[in-house]
Amino acid sequence: MKIFRTLPVALSQRQPIALAIGHFDGVHLGHQAMLKRVGEAARDLNLIPSVLTFEPSPREFFSKSDAPAKLYPLRMRLSKIADLGIERAYVLRFDERLARMETPLFADELLTQTLNTRWLLLSDEARFGLDRRGSLEFLRGRNNAFLVERMAMIEVEGARISSTRVRHALSQSDFGMAARLLGGAYRISGRVVRGDALGRTIGFPTANLPIHEKSVLFGVFAVKVFGLGDPLNGVASLGMRPTVKGKNAPPLLEAHLFDFNEDIYGRHIEVEFVAKIRDEQRFPDLAALTRQIERDALTARRVLGVA
C-alpha cells in the first residue's frame, strides 16, 4: 500500500480512485466491511481502492484532552487497512486549514480535483468540512464528479459496531466482546526496547514496548505474545510504574514471558490481552512489589492453563 502524507500528489499518481473517509480506529468489523466494499467497487469500476484519514483526528485537534484513547496507533491502523486490500492511504494532517475548509471546497477541490475521486463510500454518521456540515445528504443533493454510496450499518448482538463500543468493552476487561467487535483478539504491537533492567534483577525480565498514545487499558494482564516463534504465555503490566517511577512517568507495556530467556531487543512483537488480573497500584517498597508480581504470575498461569 502506498502512503501519501502531502497533497497535492504528483500528476502521475492521480489515477481515479474509489475512496472511503474515516479515522478507522481499531479497524473493527464495521470498518472492515467498509474497506471490503471499497475494494469491490474499485474492481468493478477499474479504480484504485483508497482511504483518506487524518492524523491527528479532528477530535484531537479541537480538544486533545477530551479525545478518547486510541485503540491503535497510526502504524497499526495502516497495516490493518493494507491487509484488507486497500492500495492507497492518504494521511492528512488535520490542521486549521482543513478545519476551516468550506464543505463544497472539500468535495470539489480535495476529493475531486486533488484526489481524483470517482466513487465515494460514506456512512450515515460521516461528517466533513467546516463545522461538520458535509454529510451523505449534502453530497446526494448536489452534482458531484463522483458516485456516492451509503455504507450499510454493521451490527453485533443487536447494536451498531463502533470504536466507542470497542473502547467500552476493553475498559470493562470484556476481551471476548472486544474480539467479536474487532474480528479478532485485541493486541498491541511494537518493537522491544531496552528498559532499566529492574525486572531482571528481581527474577522477572520483561519485554518492554513504549506506549506513545493515551491507552484504553491500564493494569496487569494475562497475555499471549506473538512474533517470537510459537505463541508465548506471560503476564504483563501496562501503566506508569508508580512504585519505581513515581508520578507522571510515560506509560510502558512490560511483558514477562513464561519459561523464556532470550535476547529480543529490537524484535517486533504483538501482545494479546487475555484477561485482566488487577489494577495498577503503588507498593511501599520493591520487596512488596516483587511478592505481588509472583502472585500475578501464578494467576496468569492459571488463567492461561500453563503449568
Q: Is residue 12 scored above 60 in pLDDT?
A: no
Q: Is the peptide bond before 56 cis (omega within 30 degrees of 0)?
A: yes
Average pLDDT of span 203-220 = 89
170 located within any domain: no
> CB of 276 within 8 A of CB of 219?
yes
Residue that is last in its domain, among 110, 126, 160:
160
CATH code where residue 142 lies: 3.40.50.620
Exposure of 273 by Cβ count < 10 A (0-12 exposed, 13-18 middle, 19+ buried)? buried
* Same domain? 231 vs 283: yes
Whether residue 248 is predicted with pLDDT greater than 80 in this model: the reply is no
pLDDT at 13 over 70: no
Tell whether 172 is covered by a domain: no
Domain count along the chain: 2
C-alpha cell at 263: 535476547
pLDDT surpasses 70 at 8: no
Which of 251 and 199 is assigned the larger pLDDT? 251
**70 vs 92: CA distance, rounded Å:** 17
- For the segment 44-57, the average pLDDT, to the nearest whole number, is 94
| 192/156 same-domain check | no
Percent of the chain with pLDDT over 90: 60
- Judge whether 106 lies within some domain: yes
What is the pLDDT at residue 240? 83
146 and 221 part of one domain: no
pLDDT tens digits for range 221-245: 999 999 999 999 999 999 887 777 7
Confidence (pLDDT) at 18: 98
Residue 176 belongs to some domain of the structure: no
Taking the C-alpha atoms of residue 101 and residue 131, their distance in angstroms, rounded to an integer, is 9
Domain housing 9 = 2-160
Instruction: Give domain status of residue 173, yes or no.
Output: no
What confidence category does residue 246 fall into, taking pLDDT thresholds of 50, 70 and 90? Answer: low
Q: What average pLDDT does range 263-273 have in this prediction?
A: 94
C-alpha cell recorded at residue 66: 477530551
Whole-structure pTM value = 0.89
Regarding whether 48 and 13 lie in a shared domain, the answer is: yes
Same domain, 123 and 208: no
116-167 pLDDT, tens per residue? 999 999 988 888 888 888 888 899 888 889 999 999 889 999 899 999 999 9
On whether residue 179 sits in a domain, the answer given is: no
Alpha-carbon distance of 239 to 221, in angstroms, equals: 11
The enclosing H or E element of 231 equals: none
Let me know if residue 180 belongs to a domain. Answer: no
